[in-house]
Structure 1
Amino acid sequence: MKNIIITGTSRGIGYELAWQFADAGHNVLAISRKTPQTLLGNKNITCLSVDLSDETEMEKVDNFLSHSWKTVDIIIHNAGSLLLKPFSETSQEDFENIYKVNVFGVANLTRACLPYLQKGSHVVTISSMGGIQGSLKFAGLAAYSSSKGAVITLSELLAEEYKEKGVSFNVLALGAVQTEMLQEAFPGYEAPITAKEMADYIFDFALTGNKYYNGKVLQVSSTNP
């Protein structure tokens, strides 16, 4: 039984992951701004309403960990914010809002959890193929894709900084997945992978990927960008 923190659990991949880990007998801390009522009934899931863009809200996580778990085995940084807007119309505030969730949220939550991470702990950050250098880029996603590139570099750096502690940091750069967020950005587009199917892959990788990888970026896409 492992202690697993998952962000962005109100819907999509994060929601599916929370159920999968809980059903497998693991303890889950499900973090999202809005708490899905359906997760509250599972005895293995603790829901915590946290705004990842607000650094002061990390106190909620620290309070829970210090009083309940004491250790964290896996963090899955799955929460994300997407903006589809032409670059000429994208303001600094737009960029800041995306980066607060996609980059600063990852950094802040990781920092809050550092005292509870131990040898063998695995931190998995969900990025995007749009953040991969040389991959196909889509107009209108300047803030989103650049933020996903930033967390790749952040994870590579943290893997180096904490390798002596035995904590692994890896990134999964996902291709298109059929989620609510994708539909909001690209109405009518049909992705080749469902949220449940991608959650299956992330589930296995979070549990075993640190045996084979540290500081790596794995491209998880069924299409050729």
Structure 2
Amino acid sequence: MATQTPVWFITAATSGFGHYLALEALARGHHVIASGRSLSRLSPLADAGAHTVVLDVTSPLPAIQAVAKDAVAKYGYISHLVNAAGYVLIGAVEETSPQEDYDTFNTNVFGVLNVSKAFLPYLRASAGHRTICNFGSIASWTGGAGAALYYSTKWAVSGLSEAMREELAPFGIAVTVAEPGYFRTGFLNKGAAVNSEKTIEAYEESAAGQTRRGLEGHDGKQVGDVKKGCRVLVDILTMSGVAEEQEVPIRVALGSDSGPTIREKCERTMRLLDEWEGVTGKTDHED
């Protein structure tokens, strides 16, 4: 029996990893349904052979379910769901407003949840290799002054992905979280990164203020090549190329800076546990 052609549904395909994943999949002869908030911004992918649809991941679940139903009807199935939508909110916790906080979680976390909810009935009913890839970040592993809301959403996506992997393994659906380091996408471009409306002078010379200035200066100088990163990621998600005969892992530490950052966090955590275990571990009932 011939292997089915992979069919990808990708959110936030107008730019960044979503865009280049779509191009890489198309270059391999796969079917791609690329979504974003603007059809005009998706036109380069349409020209490359993708089917394009409008989707705002913050829409109510019924609206996302309608998009999912139409998307599955296009080819009869979906094999790869990529939740790539997300943005960074820059500002100290005291500076960001409750609405800004909610909007960040609504895109970065609730968007992943609702898009997954909409597609899961079809993924469960399908046969063959099926994968969900949620986008975390190097920020899934470290907190950082001046972008706490972004870091916390990516921690949430990492934990959500681990739980989804356990839930969906019995159905033969692999779930992974991509945790890229700094790649040269438009993620930090002016207008892509969102600064809190309110700033507090006391934070300007602190670590939070340094983050605000540092991220702006980092744009366009990131070490990662997004095209190379997407080539590796598509290999991993399709268990081909450099990932042939390998299972889809729980996480993909993508980029030369991601792995060392995660490793250093694990080592610091181990030292912390060793230091305090004699105190914090003595809390059981005597019986």
Q: What residue in structure 2 maps to residue 26 of structure 1?
A: 30
Identity %: 25
Uncovered stretches (5+) of structure 1, i.e. residues with no partner: none
Q: What residue in structure 2 maps to residue 5 of structure 1?
A: 9
Q: What residue in structure 2 maps to residue 221 of structure 1?
A: 255
Q: What residue in structure 2 maps to residue 141 of structure 1?
A: 147
Contact 2:12 2:84 in 1 (8 A): yes
Given candidates 84, 97, 112, the residue that maps to 2:118 is 112
Question: Which runs of at least 4 in structure 1 moved beyond 6 Å after TM superposition?
Answer: none
Structure showing greater Rg: 2
Superposition pairs of residues 33-182 of structure 1, within 5 angstroms: 33-35=37-39, 36-43=42-49, 45-55=50-60, 56-117=62-123, 118-119=126-127, 120-132=129-141, 135=142, 137-182=143-188
1:66 offset after TM fit, Å? 4.5
Query: What is the total number of aligned residue pairs between the two structures?
Result: 220
- Secondary structure of the residue aligned to 2:94 is helix
Contact 1:21 1:28 in 2 (8 A): yes
With the length of structure 1 as denominator, give the TM-score of the two structures. Answer: 0.90
Superposition pairs of residues 194-213 of structure 1, within 5 angstroms: 194-208=225-239, 211-213=246-248
Structure 1: which amino acid aligns with 2:23? W
Contact 1:32 1:51 in 2 (8 A): yes
Uncovered stretches (5+) of structure 2, i.e. residues with no partner: 194-214, 262-287
With the length of structure 2 as denominator, give the TM-score of the two structures. Answer: 0.71
RMSD: 1.9
